[in-house]
Structure 1
Amino acid sequence: MMTNLFSVFDPSTNLFNLSLNWLSTFIGLLLIPSMYWFIPSRHHIIWTSILLTLHKEFKTLLGNLGKNGSTFIFISLFSFIMFNNFMGLFPYIFTSSSHLLYTLTLALPLWLSFMLYGWINNTQHMFTHLVPQGTPSILMPFMVCIETISNIIRPGTLAVRLAANMIAGHLLMTLLGNTGSSLSYYLIIILIITQILLLMLESAVAIIQSYVFAVLSTLYSSEVN
């Protein structure tokens, strides 16, 4: 029996006191071997065109100062998050991207590496970012505080945005699904149609949120160059 509404997101399946639900994070890796087929499939061609489009966009965001190959980090990040978001839409598969443990593990090391690189290699450039151009002298101390706080909370906002968006749709689908046993025949038909529409919305959210996470990470890295 469900103790509370959020218990559906608890990693409760275990073997030898090790949580097996987190293994759903690696299910997406099972789709990768088809990339190495000698004759490319339609799935391979579509995925390659998506990756090339993302590469061009991230290259534009990083600008001329971006290091060669740096776009592959963010393309991999996008792919990894999107696979995990989609895995959570299947029944009885644990949604790992709805947990802050998962999202913070992705956001915090990225942000820390950007900050360390920026402050070590481009210290003067990082200081200029703390005071926007055209700020009056009397407001400069306040702007430094505001910019510092907004910089520090970036990994938290990245993590919370992804987790909250994934958990909200799943909660709504769980709430609607639990009312099915007490509804009449006609209302159940309406409920099924609503659930299908919500599932389509969640599929779009799965793609959009992984894209937003990757794009924001790219923008944060472009600021330290």
Structure 2
Amino acid sequence: MKLLVVEDHRELRALLRSHLERAGFAVDTVASGQAALDAMAAADFDALVLDLGLPDMDGMAVLAACQKLPHKTPCIVLTARDALDCRIAGLNGGADDYVLKPFDMSEFEARLRAVLRRTHGTRENRLGLGNVAFESVSRLATVQGHPIDLLRREAMLLEEMLRVWPRIVVKERLEEHIYSTRESVTLNAIEALVSRLRRKLRDGGADVLIDTVRGLGYRLVLAHDTGRHGHQP
């Protein structure tokens, strides 16, 4: 899942990004309200982590603007404002949770995952095709009920391909979904990622294969359909 962290404190911003990336998320970070609005207008995020004390505008104004966007993004507010009326205003303004600074990073991650479970209930939390299953919140992939060990980006690739099946995932969409905007991505990097996931699915006994659609991207197919689709190994 892809997150946008809006925090003007440099050290905390870096700490949040580092912890969340280790936890398996793709993370973009910005330091101002306007940068947050620009990022939200340009791309879809699975959740927004929003500091209220921003240098150019109040975080509540960012939250209000986000509510008007076509894609509703769950939001966790981070703030030192501990007054009850501030917490009530944040929740009534559209925040899904309200976390006071300072906070424990592990507890914050748990609360983030709880928000994702609640707010993404309309999207499938459990995805599957053939004998392959994927839990989007825990990021657990299994083949016939047996876990397969996937790295963060491998898990993100599998989730995206399962989510859009039977459609093709174009390479540009993979770059947007799996990598943050600060990372430069080469075609070779995408191909290497697909190759690793393809090998792990095969070694795990999956009856699902990754089909290369030349010039476009990739899609998942069931093994017995490969003759019809022209699977590329």
Q: Under a length normalisation based on structure 2, what TM-score does the superposition of the two structures give? A: 0.23
Bigger RCO of structures 1 and 2 (CA < 8 A, at least 6 apart): 1
Greater percentage in helix:
1
**Structure (1 or 2) with the larger CA radius of gyration:** 1
Q: Under a length normalisation based on structure 1, what TM-score does the superposition of the two structures give? A: 0.23
